[in-house]
Amino acid sequence: MQLMFLGTSAGRPTKTRNVTAAALVLPDPLHVFWLFDAGEGTQHRMLGSKLKLNRLEKIFITHLHGDHIYGLPGLLSSRSYFEGAVPLELIGPPGIKAFIEGVFALSGTHLEYEFTIREVEPGLILENDRFKVTADTLVHRLPCYGYRIEEKESPGPLKLERLAEFGLKPGPEYGQLKRGEDVQLADGTWIRSSEVAGKPLKGRIVTILGDTSPCDAAIALAKDADLLVHEATFAPGMEEKAAAYGHSTSMQAAQIALEANVKTLVLTHFSSRLCAEDVEQLVQAAQTLIPDTRAAEDYSEIAITRPERG
């Protein structure tokens, strides 16, 4: 599982940073990715990446400010030109449906793939056999959401040497044993799953927050996360201005991560007034609380490993 940033600037793009967008590439064999926000120019950023629009399965929108949604109409329209596109679901706050339907109606846009829109409320918003996603409201000038993505526990690897001792060759029985089911051989011998399957693999937790001032919801969404993506629009010492605009400083982001027991903190949504040296100073300050703090850069990729594998 990897997270790729396609835009890391706040408010407006710069020469090196586009406005907000990030892609979560799901583990094999799913071969799909989820997009979180789609600021203006997101599809242009995707052209410079390995991401393919026909493998985009879901789009999660945090809020309706332009630097988070103005790239949606063009991206959704262009996707019609890709063959074999999987069904796409757009998930976001109230108003996202009216925004998209209004733009498409006025522009005469018709999509050539299965597309649905769902407006969210706080709570569990998605669950399947691999993941569950929870949303909650943050503190911003517009209704804004954060998303917690939890990968479910998966079966551990089979002990192949032990299976060879039983004379069991690869086949359907392997799947049964990985699922925790015992298997009886033709000679009546029972193979116990507990004897031949390794410990279940703990799932990963990724939390991606929209624009926000520090709040309890941010801590709850990030609890014990392997990776937290948190905005850092302002530098330390600018807390009053950050609060006035519904944003956070880098140190406030680090404090949220500390209280939530986060493993890795990734700062993003940097003010266009900040130069590369300024961003580095924000990261160094946050590292006093969370040693594994990083600055998101456009096209930067972060591998999210399972806890057992470090």
Rounded CA gap, 229 and 210, in Å? 9
Parts of the chain with a pLDDT under 50: 309-310
Q: What is the 3-state secondary structure (H, E, C) of 164-223?
A: HHHCCCCCHHHHHHHCCCCEECCCCCEECHHHHECCCECCCEEEEECCCECCHHHHHHHC
If residue 107 lies in a helix (H) or strand (E), which one and from where to where? helix 96-107
Say if residue 216 is exposed, middle or buried (CB neighbours under 10 Å; 0-12, 13-18, 19+).
Answer: exposed
CA 120 centroid distance within chain: 16
- Model's pTM, two decimal places? 0.90
Model confidence pLDDT, tens digit, residues 260-277: 999 999 999 999 999 999
Model confidence pLDDT, tens digit, residues 167-201: 888 888 888 888 788 999 888 899 988 888 888 88
Q: Is position 68 annotated in a ligand binding site?
A: yes
* Alpha carbon separation from 128 to 59, 86, 133, 251 (Å, rounded): 16, 17, 9, 35
Catalytic member of 28, 37, 67, 278 = 67
Rounded CA gap, 290 and 266, in Å? 10
Model confidence pLDDT, tens digit, residues 217-231: 999 999 999 999 999
Q: Is position 269 annotated in a ligand binding site?
A: yes
- The answer to whether the beta carbons of residues 76 and 115 sit under 8 Å apart is yes
Fold of 2-154+201-309: Metallo-beta-lactamase; Chain A (3.60.15)
Q: Is position 28 annotated in a ligand binding site?
A: no
| Residue type at 21 in one-letter notation | A
**Which alpha helices (H) appear in the chain, and where do they start and end?**
42-47, 66-69, 72-78, 96-107, 160-166, 172-178, 193-196, 216-222, 239-244, 250-259, 276-286
| Residue type at 243 in one-letter notation | A
Q: Is position 211 annotated in a ligand binding site?
A: yes
The Cβ of residue 119 has, within 10 Å, a number of other Cβ atoms equal to: 14
Q: Which residue is associated with the tokens 């959704």?
A: 76
Short-list 89, 145, 147, CA closest to 113 = 89
Residue 308's pLDDT is what? 58
Q: Is position 31 annotated in a ligand binding site?
A: no
- The answer to whether the beta carbons of residues 247 and 282 sit under 8 Å apart is no
Residue 167's pLDDT is what? 86
Say if residue 294 is exposed, middle or buried (CB neighbours under 10 Å; 0-12, 13-18, 19+).
Answer: middle
Residue 310's pLDDT is what? 39
Helix, strand or coil, per DSSP, at residue 26: coil
Annotation says 37 is catalytic: no
Rounded CA gap, 270 and 17, in Å? 9
Q: Is position 247 annotated in a ligand binding site?
A: no
Q: Is position 67 annotated in a ligand binding site?
A: yes
Where in the chain are the domains?
A: 2-154+201-309, 160-196
Short-list 264, 259, 276, 292, CA closest to 8 = 276
The Cβ of residue 174 has, within 10 Å, a number of other Cβ atoms equal to: 17
Mean pLDDT of the chain: 94
